[in-house]
Structure 1
Amino acid sequence: MIAAPQKLSVVEKIGYSLGDLAANLIFQTLVTFLGFFYTDVYKIPAGKASFIITFFGFAGAFFNIIMGAIADRTNTRWGKYRPWILWTAIPFGVISLLAFSTPNFGESGKLIYAATTYFLLVIIYSANNLPYSALSGVLTSDMKERNSLSSYRFVAVMVAQFIIQSLLLPLALSVGHGDKAKGFEKVMLVFAIVGVICFIITFLTTKERVKPAQVEKSSVKQDLTDLTKNKPWIIMLILTILVFITLALKGGMNIFYCKYYLSGDAQAAFLENIGFNNFINGLNKFLTGIGLGNFEWPKDSPTSANSLFNAGSIIFMIVGIMFSKPLADRFGKRNVFGIFLALSALALIMFNFYSKDAIAAVFATHIIHGFLYGITIPILWAMIADVADFSEWKNNRRATAIIFSAMIFGLKVGLSLGGGLGAFILSKYGYVPDAVQTAGAISGIKMSVSIYPGLIFIVGAASLIWYEINKKMEVKIESELIIKRNAKG
């Protein structure tokens, strides 16, 4: 008898998603605040901080390939990938706390400490998150269930992103009573404890079910050769790089758009009119009433508006994620991803055409973009799991982790390139920090949050023309792999 594809319980889906909540409390902090932490909190010179982040970020990207080969060759009674989540849980928590601590060293000591802890964090992140990502490909062979699992997972990611991008700095200032260094350490201690608990829950509530049909072992060289001949994998690697270049570019440039293009007075009036300032004042009265410090939301209107725009976008990304599974189940992952990536690109392009006083329109467009892009978020990673199935179906060899490792490599390369591209564009257009910007610099800032990222998204959507795993092929691969796996018994 041929076994049906495995269904996942709600408990298992939630348990799995908690692993991404834990990892992203740290990952989102690295992406959003590591540069700020090094320069403004730990007082490392900006140029040296930039070198540490860039050099060791690329080093970690290459380690992913090694970790992928290791994970694919791990064999325990718990499976290949689950044990890595357990083994790395406590080290991840400890190193995360150390990386955001501020021991009192001289400049040389600070540089050594920062480089060492960041490198260790990059390595332990790969050792934890790569097997975690690969685990999604072996929990079930049912592609609809993978769509559902990805939706649960990325709701957790968005919760972590909301906490970090909208609340981390105010929380650090609040619990540190204005001392950013103490505040970061206290917040990161909580994140570390929560993370360890979530990783253990993920390990306990999940089960590896998908077993490859082949019994022979393959070499790392053979796995890499399979990758180079896997056309869907090549397309997904390109797409991953393009998506994360866009996210890093737009994410890093939003604050410049608010600070230097949008009217400060118009942003202040918008915050007042929607009741945002009264909300923060009321929250502070509550916090001081229970003995905590003020919730130190940034007081200048551009920074506050940017945080509010981010919060609104993230909330509607979560809403979009909820539409992802039914749309992908009906129309196929490739079609839904390409259409909504292109639509989200059009929303980005709109930022170039608003006047500096159109704050409500800017806020609304952030929300629309968040919703449209949110639909694509779970699908990207579900498609990568499908690529692992495609490789097994075509080559009779499965190398889930090494396929995911290449994609995470693309993610890190994209983030590095996107961050560097933003700095390059600012320089090219004549940007001067904390000064009245020229018309050329303003144009560059507007282009960097709209036209440039929008066009990159459109190129990514167009690349899916060559991605051959459509809805019909998804069904064919799934059914034929079930037969192969049962035949091998």
Structure 2
Amino acid sequence: MSTAPTTPDRDQGLKTREYIGYALGDTASNFFFQTFNIFLTYYYVDVWGIPAAVLLWMMPIVRLVGALDDPIIGLIADRTQSRWGKFRPYLLFGAIPYGICGYLVFAGPDLGSQGKVVYAYVTYALMLLSYSVINVPYSSLLGVISPSSRTRTVASSFRFVGAFGGAFLISLLVRPLVKHLGAGNEMQGFQLTMAIFAVLSVLMFWTTFATTKERVTPPPSQKTNVREELRELFRNWPWVTLLIASVFSTTFVALRSGSTLFYFKYVAGDDGAPILFGQFDRSTVFLASGALAQVAGTAMLGVLARRVDKKYAATVLSAITGLCFLAFFFLPPDRFGLLLALNALGYLCMGPTSALTWALYGDVADYGEWKYGRRSTGLVYSASLFSIKTGIMFGGYLLPLFLDRFGFVRNATQTATAILGITLAFSIVPGVFALLKAVALWVYPLDQRRVDEIESELAARRAAPAAPAA
């Protein structure tokens, strides 16, 4: 008589404490990730005075090199053995270096023009490395937090509520904090604000470490072989299509977020005057409302996560987001209410799309184990960080490219050509990348029916060695 495998329908999920603890890890990540997306180009160009043309090469070079760290970290994490598991130790020991490196990016020492460029190269490279060291294992933890695809989808939805909650706080608080703490000195304001975020990030990662468990382990007979693991990874078609979709995703997120302040300052005419509660200007209200819509969309997914087919839901929602972004090109920039409403719709759909897409990586890890008999969770999830850095590399390259080639001039009235360049970077180009993501997700081959079949077969394999003889 054999032991019956655990099927998806019998899964009881995790305790709320663990879901929330896991979510706080991405809140910590977004205290820096979202700040970089929205404010880093603005900080480098408009605050610290690095020419936009310099960023054309600095950001792509640093991000490309940094992206290569991710598969290396994934391979190392897969081979880690400790009393805390494979992935959780990195949350414990990587948190403080992560916080320090994030602060240093915005420390803004008084240097000459060449010194600023060198400092930016070094600190940004260190930040990307520390991001990989803690976020590849953090992302991989989702793949082993439960053997159930549906439970992982719920955990992913909690994660992105935490992520977009962090994004909301960044969107809402950074500009007021910079003004308040800097007392008119924008450089000092960024320094003190990022110091606060650094401390909070460390504490949140430690909370994630303390509240989560790893429940899925590789097959006992699995042998490690880097060459074979990499070959299996690139033959894993679901992984390849998901990697492409994720690169498209982070490209449009980076370009859209980074161009927002330029759009409102130079196209929509936001002069920083508060329009809400005497504190928040139009840029802040726009960014915060979009982030809040992401939280709402992802929270709704938490209720539906066990009932939707991740592939098809993510495809449709990505397409809606892309169409919303494209529409901004045709809207008059002085219709602030209309801009808010359309942005909220786009981000309401984008929130659950991100959670669904990241949940798919756990299914891809299951597929690799099912097809090749080897589970390389860290290596599979390293693709998620690789896609983030690669997408940010493209988005980070495109924004200064548009600023430079269309004749942007810092702190000046822009020409019609420069306004066109900023508007394209804010609307048409991110919209096209969002639609390309929808196409890639449509091609992705694992629907929920196939995932359930793989999950049941894996459960039977894992139970078989322990089965008593008939």
Q: Secondary structure at the match of 2:68?
A: helix
Distance 1:360 1:169, change over 3 A: closer
Aligned equivalents of 2:190 and 2:283: distance in 1? 21
TM-score norm. by structure 2 comes to 0.89
Work out whether residues 56 and 400 of structure 2, in 8 Å CA contact, stay in contact via their aligned partners in 1: no
Aligned equivalents of 1:362 and 1:218: distance in 2? 52
Work out whether residues 324 and 376 of structure 1, in 8 Å CA contact, stay in contact via their aligned partners in 2: no
Work out whether residues 214 and 396 of structure 1, in 8 Å CA contact, stay in contact via their aligned partners in 2: no
Amino acid at match of 2:86: K
Work out whether residues 30 and 167 of structure 2, in 8 Å CA contact, stay in contact via their aligned partners in 1: yes
Superposed, 1:68-147 pairs within 5 Å as 68-105=74-111, 110-147=116-153
Matched, 1:341 2:304: no
Aligned equivalents of 2:266 and 2:401: distance in 1? 17
Matched, 1:277 2:265: no
Q: Secondary structure at the match of 1:469?
A: coil
Aligned equivalents of 1:91 and 1:321: distance in 2? 30
Amino acid at match of 1:188: M
2:162 corresponds in structure 1 to 156
Aligned equivalents of 1:352 and 1:106: distance in 2? 39
Aligned equivalents of 1:426 and 1:38: distance in 2? 13
Which stretch has the larger CA shift, 220-229 or 319-328? 319-328
Amino acid at match of 2:277: F
1:448 corresponds in structure 2 to 425
Instruction: Say which of 12, 16, 19 aligns to 1:10.
Output: 16
Aligned equivalents of 1:34 and 1:443: distance in 2? 22
1:473 corresponds in structure 2 to 450
Distance 1:251 1:37, change over 3 A: closer
Matched, 1:170 2:147: no
The superposition leaves residues 405-456 of structure 1 with CA deviations (integer Å, 9 ceiling, x where unpaired) of 1231122111111232234345555656533433x55554444333332232
The superposition leaves residues 75-132 of structure 1 with CA deviations (integer Å, 9 ceiling, x where unpaired) of 1121110111111122222333333324445555555444333322221111001100
Which stretch has the larger CA shift, 178-187 or 37-46? 37-46
TM-score norm. by structure 1 comes to 0.86
Instruction: Say which of 56, 59, 64 aligns to 2:65.
Output: 59
Distance 1:208 1:182, change over 3 A: same
Aligned equivalents of 2:440 and 2:199: distance in 1? 41
Distance 1:218 1:312, change over 3 A: same
Q: Secondary structure at the match of 1:80?
A: coil
Superposed, 1:394-433 pairs within 5 Å as 394-426=371-403
Shift of 1:259: 4.2
Superposed, 1:278-317 pairs within 5 Å as 279-280=277-278, 304-317=281-294
Matched, 1:364 2:362: no
Extract unaligned runs of 5+ from structure 1: 284-296, 298-303
Shift of 1:190: 2.0
1:287 corresponds in structure 2 to none
Shift of 1:181: 3.4
Work out whether residues 19 and 159 of structure 2, in 8 Å CA contact, stay in contact via their aligned partners in 1: yes
Matched, 1:239 2:216: no
Name the count of aligned residue pairs. 459
Runs (4+) of structure 1 exceeding 6 A deviation are none
2:368 corresponds in structure 1 to 391
Aligned equivalents of 2:283 and 2:59: distance in 1? 24
Work out whether residues 212 and 485 of structure 1, in 8 Å CA contact, stay in contact via their aligned partners in 2: no
Aligned equivalents of 1:87 and 1:237: distance in 2? 28
The superposition leaves residues 380-399 of structure 1 with CA deviations (integer Å, 9 ceiling, x where unpaired) of 11011211111111111011
Distance 1:9 1:212, change over 3 A: same
Distance 1:238 1:169, change over 3 A: same
Distance 1:57 1:325, change over 3 A: same
Q: Secondary structure at the match of 1:197?
A: helix
Superposed, 1:163-242 pairs within 5 Å as 163-242=169-248
Shift of 1:220: 1.2
Shift of 1:347: 1.6
Matched, 1:33 2:10: no
Q: Secondary structure at the match of 1:277?
A: coil
Which stretch has the larger CA shift, 386-395 or 352-361? 352-361
Q: Secondary structure at the match of 2:415?
A: coil
Ranked by relative contact order (alpha carbons within 8 Å, sequence separation 6 or more), the top structure is 2
Aligned equivalents of 1:404 and 1:117: distance in 2? 25
2:350 corresponds in structure 1 to 373
